[in-house]
Amino acid sequence: MARANRSAYLESALRVLAEDGSEGLTIAELCCRLGVTKGSFYHHFSGMPEFVTALLEFWEDQRSQRLIAASEAESDPQARFALLMDVAMGLPHEAEAALRAWGRSNAEVRAVVERVDEAREKHLADSMRLVGLPEERARVRARMAMAVLVGTQQRENPVNIDGLRAMLEELNADVSVNGAIYRPTIP
């Protein structure tokens, strides 16, 4: 039998969510995919409730907090926008859609999804203010960008990355960067 660490279980869980939704996320399925026994799972987690909490913490940390921190470290507004676009394209879209669906029936999941969305939206608004958008306009643009992202995740399986990129670039095509209009290249 193979050995799996906590991270392997958490990454595998995101793939299960993407492929089978929350209904497919079982200890047996995780162990089967990783080629390990259930004892291996219980070595790392006391049970499914602890695992779900760890999964949500992992997703929030890896797919939100760390990405926001990397973006905040970028001082050049144009480079930050390019990085944010790459971040948005690289998200585990199908897993995020499954998390959002799961959150409709699970309060713990819903709370984390809402917290992640709020943090992402706030960071987008802050980034847009850095390039000169007034606060209210930056908040509205950030909300629109999140609506495009989440809406695309909900409507498309798999997400058309080129289409998502084109919509987000069009949405932000007239954002001023240091007095100049930011005109991204639309593929």
Residue 177 has pLDDT above 90, yes or no: no
Residue 179: per-residue pLDDT:
47
Question: How confident is the model over 142-164, as a mean pLDDT?
Answer: 96
Q: Which two tokens stand for residue 6?
A: 């906590």
> Mean per-residue pLDDT for 33-46?
95
Domain containing 132 — which CATH number?
A: 1.10.357
Residue 84 belongs to a domain: yes
Mean per-residue pLDDT, 53-69 = 96
pLDDT of residue 25: 98
Of 156, 158, 96, 148, nearest in space to 124 by CA? 148
- C-alpha to C-alpha distance for 153 and 164, rounded to whole angstroms: 9
Q: Is residue 153 in a domain?
A: yes
Sign of the alpha-carbon dihedral angle for 66, 120, 63, 10: positive
SS3 59: helix
Residue 30, CB-side half-sphere exposure with 13 Å CA sphere: 31
Average pLDDT of the residues of the chain: 91
β-bridge mates for residue 176, sequence order: 181
Give 3-state DSSP helix, strand, coil % of the chain, rounded to 5: 75, 0, 25
Question: CA 177 to CA 74: how far, in whole Å?
Answer: 14
pLDDT band at 186 (very low <50, low <70, confident <90, very high): very low
Give the integer Cα–Cα distance in Å for 17 and 49: 16
pLDDT band at 172 (very low <50, low <70, confident <90, very high): confident
22 belongs to a structural domain: no
Which residues of 48-173 form beta strands (DSSP E)?
Answer: none
Q: Give the domain extent around 176.
A: 53-181
What pLDDT, in 10s, does the model give residues 116-132?
A: 999 999 999 999 998 88
Q: Which amino acid is at 126?
A: D
Tell me the pLDDT tens digit for each residue of 71-87.
999 988 888 988 999 99
Asked whether residue 32 is domain-assigned, the answer is no
Select from 18, 96, 12, 30 the least CA-distant residue to 60: 96
For 172, the enclosing helix (H) or strand (E) is none
pLDDT digits (tens, 9 = 90+) for 86-103: 999 999 999 999 999 999
CA angle at 8 for the pair 85 and 62, rounded to the nearest 5°: 30
8 within domain boundaries: no
Question: Does residue 2 belong to any structural domain of this protein?
Answer: no
Is 119 contained in some domain?
Answer: yes
pLDDT at 30 over 80: yes
Taking CA 98 as the corner, what is the angle to CA 94 and CA 103, rounded to the nearest 5 degrees? 145
pLDDT tens by residue, 4-27: 899 999 999 999 999 999 999 999
Work out how many domains the chain is built from and give that number: 1
Q: What band does 146 get if pLDDT is binned at 50, 70 and 90?
A: very high
Quick check: is 69 in a domain? yes
Say yes or no to pLDDT of 69 above 90. yes
Q: Is the confidence at residue 59, as pLDDT, over 90?
A: yes
